[in-house]
Every structure is written in C-alpha cells, then in structure tokens.
Amino acid sequence: MAQYSKIVIGASIRYGKHNPLVYEFVKVNRDELQKKSTAFFTVNVVARKKEKNQPNTNPYMKKFLELSGWQPDKLAVFAGRIDYPSYRFLDRLIIRFIMLITKGPTDTSQTYEFTDWNKVANFAKEVL
C-alpha cells in the first residue's frame, strides 16, 4: 500500500456480516492505514430505508466501526441491490422472506437496484 496516499475500502453485507477478510485486512494493515487518508463504505439493502442510510444510523456501519476499532477519515453507506434471478434457491427464499417482513420487494423474477448513484459520485468526489 506504500505507494498510495489514499485508501478506500468498501464491503457489502451478506447475512448480517461484512466479509471477515475485510476485518483481517484492516488488522494486518492497521499501521499503514493510520498514516493515510482513508475512507470506508458499506453496501447493504437495509440502507434502502432513509432512516438507516447514514453512517450513524446504519446498523452494519456501526457494527463495523465497533468490531474493527478502525476510524477511517470518511464514511459512507450505500444501498445495494437485490438480484433475485441470480440467487441460489435457498438464498432467494430467505431473502424474499426478509423482504416480506421488512416491507421490501418480493417478486423473485425481478432485480431491484436501490443504489443512489449521485450519492456514490459525491462520495468519490469528496474522497478525491
């Protein structure tokens, strides 16, 4: 990482968790990260809800900061997408069930993109 002055790390949520490799990366590179300008973003579908799309209101972001002990300079929360047709049978069933109880879309023949790409572009600009 030595050749870079800014480091941006992004990770999505699968069944309530960021990939453990992200935590591992942060742990192993802690000293190097401390010296750089850093940013972290999380992608999940809970963030499709207005009241859960900010760093201080998104449960996965809060958990990440707590578990990693890392304090990036910039944070962002982005809503991802639900792509039912690409999921395995069991994932489709489980995600549909979660959508049912959280008032999300349940038509498994469709793909739903919740990403606010302006928000992504603004974050990119801020980081630059």
Using CB under 6 A, which of 2, 3, 5, 15 touches ligand FMN? 15
Q: Whole-number minimum distance, CB 1 to ligand FMN, in Å?
A: 22
CB of 34: closest distance to ligand FMN in angstroms? Answer: 27
Contact between 44 and ligand FMN by CB under 6 A: the answer reads yes
From the list 7, 9, 22, 43, which residue makes contact with ligand FMN (rule: CB under 6 A)? 43
3-class SS of residue 43: strand
CA distance 51 to 55: 11
Q: Which residues pair with 113 in a beta bridge?
A: 81
Out of 32, 73, 91, 107, name the contact with ligand FMN by CB under 6 A.
Answer: 91
Pick from 7, 60, 61, 68: nearest CA to 35: 7
For residue 61, state whether it binds ligand FMN (rule: CB under 6 A): no
Contact pick of 7, 13, 26, 39 for ligand FMN (by CB under 6 A):
13
DSSP state of 31: H
DSSP SS3 for 11: strand
User: Given the rule CB under 6 A, which residues bind ligand FMN?
Assistant: 12-16, 43-46, 80-82, 87, 91
